[in-house]
Amino acid sequence: MAKFGNGTVFYRFTLNKRGNAGSNPAPATLKQSHMQKEVSTEVIKNLDSNVVAVIGAKNIEGFEKAFLVSDAIGKLKELLTPTYMKPIMNLQGNALGFKTDKDKNGGYDEATVKNCLIEAVLIGVQPVGNQFNIIAGNMYPTKQGFKYLLDNIKGLEYTVTKQLPRIKPDNSGAAVVCDIEWSLNKGEKQTKSIDFPIKMNQYMGADGVLGKADRKAFAWLYNKINGTEIPDGDVQDVEGRVVSSNIHEKPSEEEIELKRWKALFDDCKTPAELLKYKEQPMSEKARELYEEKLSTFLD
């Protein structure tokens, strides 16, 4: 059984030559099974130790942190062979694993999933329970992911109280005030009220709006405590905005893809968030949208 942090990633079963769990294997099979178990256990231990080395190094900064993260990324890439990635790929497109914006088209290739998986586990989220999504080839922690991160901060006590959502008449957007309270190690309680804007679609109700508000509040609090700027995301943010409003006219794949890129670019609030997409392959029209969005930060 392999684990990243506190979460189970996958189980490895050893089968006999017929592909079944044999009850009376021959001595040679027993020896082979024992060897396979030892190898898999060693790999699992190496995976865990490299992840823990990074997420446990809270007080390390600068080049020391850079070399530590770089070393962990290199080792995880080496250890996560196709054999170990196969069960991870089975998690793709499932809420018990992780969702992507390409689930309807078979999901992402192994190399992309591996890179996003490594990024996810090294910030502390799990590959199960829909704690991160893959959108435009990038990893985004979800509401479940940020809650998991917050729940695992030692000494943190927090509450998020949401007020009633204010929804626009055309269901194009909403706003929710979240009252966030937190304290560390029984220290002074801090409070913050934030009015979060929420993008909607015609099929989203109040529950969906409140769920997005939770995600934004959890992300804000985690970044506040850790001094980070990790953006939040969910594939529903993209899927909800690429549905044609004209039931008689089905949009082309190019139009859907262009709308998907536009939605992603529109969600970027800082140049750093937008630059994550710079090296991603995209059409010429999508690249024009990217440059147009980038220019707004340079004005």
3-state secondary structure of 243: coil
Name the one residue in this structure whose structure tokens are 């017929």. 18
Helix axes 143-151, 206-226, angle to 10 degrees: 40
Higher confidence at residue 94 or residue 29? 94
Mean pLDDT calculated for residue range 241-247: 39
Q: How far apart are CA 26 and CA 3, in angstroms?
A: 30
Q: Which residue has the tokens 């190898």?
A: 39
Q: How many CB atoms lie within 10 A of CB 142?
A: 25
Please give the structure tokens belonging to residue 232: 């939040």
Sheet holding 132-135, edge to edge: 99-100, 132-135, 138-141
H helix or E strand, kind and range, residue 140: strand 138-141
User: Cβ distance 232 to 140 under 8 Å?
Assistant: yes
Look at residue 94 in the predicted model and tell me its pLDDT. Answer: 92
pLDDT in tens, 206-231: 888 899 999 999 999 999 998 888 88
HSE-CB at 73 with a 13 A cutoff on CA atoms is 11
Quick: pLDDT tens for 106-130.
Answer: 999 999 999 999 999 988 999 999 9
H helical segments located in the chain: 27-55, 62-79, 82-91, 110-123, 143-151, 206-226, 235-239, 253-267, 271-275, 284-298
pLDDT at 59 over 50: yes
CA 163/CA 159 separation, integer angstroms: 13
How is the chain split into domains, by residue range? 1-140, 142-230, 242-299
CA torsion sign for 51, 182, 191, 176 is positive
The single residue listed with the structure tokens 């990790």 is 230
SS (H, E, C) 158-216: EEEEECCCEECCCCCEEEEEEEEEEEECCCCCEEEEEEEEEECCCCCCHHHHHHHHHHH
CB 221 within 8 A of CB 158: yes
pLDDT bucket at 5, cuts 50 / 70 / 90:
very low
Of 162-166, 234-238, 273-277, 293-297, which gets the smallest average pLDDT?
234-238
Amino acid occupying residue 186: K
Q: Would the pLDDT of 79 be above 50?
A: yes
Question: Which pLDDT tens digit goes with each residue over 266-292?
Answer: 877 788 888 878 888 888 888 888 888
- pLDDT value of residue 225: 93
